[in-house]
């Protein structure tokens, strides 16, 4: 999942970026409203975490511009402005959540996960294919015999495939979802991740299939 963080408090921005990247998300961080608007207009994000008191362009103006161009990314407003009228204005403009500073980190992480689940059209926090279950809260993969440990990038790819089980996920979507502007992911790297995941999942009744020339999809293996 790809996130844009818009925060002009540099230490806070750095801390939140580190937290989100360690959780396996692709994060692009900007520090003013004009940069947020330019980046949002050119790139696709699953979630935008948006401060309101920004230089160059107010966060509410950024939100208004997003919705005017039909950008359907989930938006969490993260701000020190906690007055009821500020909350109402932000939600009426199309924000999906509103969290005031200072905030509890665990609550912040829970809200991020909830928004991303909702963005993916999921009403459950666990997904099961074959004998494999993915817990979207703990971001752990397991079977009846115990957990399956995966590197962060492979787990992020598997999460993307699980949330769209049975549907082809294009290579372009994989790159857009798993990388920030400072990162890259070649076709060869994607194929290597898929190959490793395919071997690990096959024994648990999960088939990771290739839609030749398009992308990949996941479903139950025959007889599973």
8 A C-beta contact, residue 126 and residue 135: yes
In whole angstroms, what is the distance from residue 38 CA to residue 220 CA?
A: 41
Domain ranges of the chain: 2-119, 126-220
pLDDT tens readout for residues 180-214: 887 888 888 899 999 999 998 888 888 899 998 89
Nearest C-alpha neighbor of 45 from the set 14, 71, 13: 71
Structure tokens at 98: 């509103």
Tell me which residues of the chain have a pLDDT lower than 50: 224
3-state DSSP of 53-117: CCCCCCHHHHHHHHHHCCCCCEEEEEECCCCHHHHHHHHHCCCCEEEECCCCHHHHHHHHHHHHH
Nearest C-alpha neighbor of 155 from the set 130, 187, 177, 181: 177
| In the block, residue with structure tokens 């060869």 | 188
Question: Is the torsion defined by CA of 29, 33, 37, 42 positive or negative?
Answer: negative
SS3 call for 153: helix
Strands 26-30 and 2-6: parallel
pLDDT computed for residue 179 by the predictor: 86
pLDDT computed for residue 178 by the predictor: 86
8 A C-beta contact, residue 76 and residue 64: no
For 126-220, the fitting CATH number among 1.10.3720.10, 1.10.10.10, 3.30.43.10, 1.10.150.170 is 1.10.10.10
What is the model's pTM? 0.79
pLDDT computed for residue 182 by the predictor: 79
Region of residue 172 (phi > 0: left; psi between -120 and 50: alpha; otherwise: beta): alpha
8 A C-beta contact, residue 112 and residue 47: yes
| In the block, residue with structure tokens 């290739």 | 210
**Is the domain covering 2-119 a CATH 3.40.50.2300 domain?**
yes
pLDDT tens readout for residues 125-137: 888 888 899 888 8
The CB density around residue 20, as the number of other CB atoms within 10 Å, is: 21
């Amino acid at each position: 999942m790809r996130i844009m963080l818009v925060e002009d408090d540099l230490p806070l921005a750095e801390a939140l970026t580190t937290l989100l990247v360690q959780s396996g998300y692709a994060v692009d961080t900007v520090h003013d409203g004009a940069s947020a608007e330019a980046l949002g207009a050119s790139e696709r994000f699953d979630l935008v975490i948006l401060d309101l008191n920004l230089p160059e362009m107010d966060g509410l103006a950024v939100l208004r511009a997003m919705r005017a161009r039909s950008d359907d990314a989930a938006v969490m407003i993260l701000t020190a402005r906690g007055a009821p009228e500020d909350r109402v204005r932000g939600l009426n403009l199309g924000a999906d959540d509103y969290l005031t500073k200072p905030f509890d980190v665990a609550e912040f992480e829970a809200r991020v996960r909830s928004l991303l689940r909702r963005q993916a059209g999921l009403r459950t926090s666990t997904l099961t294919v074959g004998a494999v279950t993915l817990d979207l809260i703990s971001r752990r993969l397991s079977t009846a015999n115990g957990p399956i440990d995966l590197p962060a990038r492979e787990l992020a790819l598997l999460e993307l495939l699980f949330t769209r089980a049975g549907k082809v996920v294009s290579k372009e979507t994989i790159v857009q979802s798993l990388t920030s502007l400072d990162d890259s992911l070649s076709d060869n790297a994607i194929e290597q991740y898929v190959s490793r995941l395919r071997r690990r999942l096959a024994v648990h009744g999960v088939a990771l299939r290739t839609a030749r020339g398009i992308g990949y999809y996941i479903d139950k293996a025959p007889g599973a």
